[in-house]
Amino acid sequence: MVVLEYRANFTYVQKFEPEILVWIAVSENGVSKPSFAKQKQAINQETYFRDCIVARLILFIQSDHIKENVWFWSDLAISHYSHKVMEYLDENGVQMVHKESNPQNCPQSRLIET
In a domain? residue 90 = yes
pLDDT attached to residue 17? 78
pLDDT attached to residue 106? 67
In a domain? residue 15 = no
Instruction: Identify the DSSP state of 35.
Output: E
pLDDT attached to residue 34? 92
Question: How far from chain centre, in Å, is Cα 113?
Answer: 14
Alpha carbons 37 and 102: distance in angstroms, whole number: 26
Neighbours of 97 (CB within 10 A): 13
Instruction: Identify the DSSP state of 21.
Output: E
String of DSSP letters for 47-109: HIIIIIIIIIIHHHHHHH--GGG-EE---S-GGGG-HHHHHHHHHTT-EE--GGGS-SS-TTT
In a domain? residue 5 = no
pLDDT attached to residue 111? 59
Task: Give the pTM.
Answer: 0.71
In a domain? residue 4 = no
Domain count, the chain: 1
In a domain? residue 35 = yes
In a domain? residue 67 = yes
pLDDT attached to residue 110? 55
Note down the domain range covering 88.
20-113
Question: What pLDDT tens digit does each residue of the chain (114 aa) get?
Answer: 677 777 778 788 878 777 888 889 998 889 999 988 887 777 889 989 999 999 999 999 998 788 788 889 888 888 889 999 999 999 999 999 888 887 776 666 655 555
pLDDT attached to residue 114? 53
Residue 54, domain CATH = 3.30.420.10
In a domain? residue 48 = yes
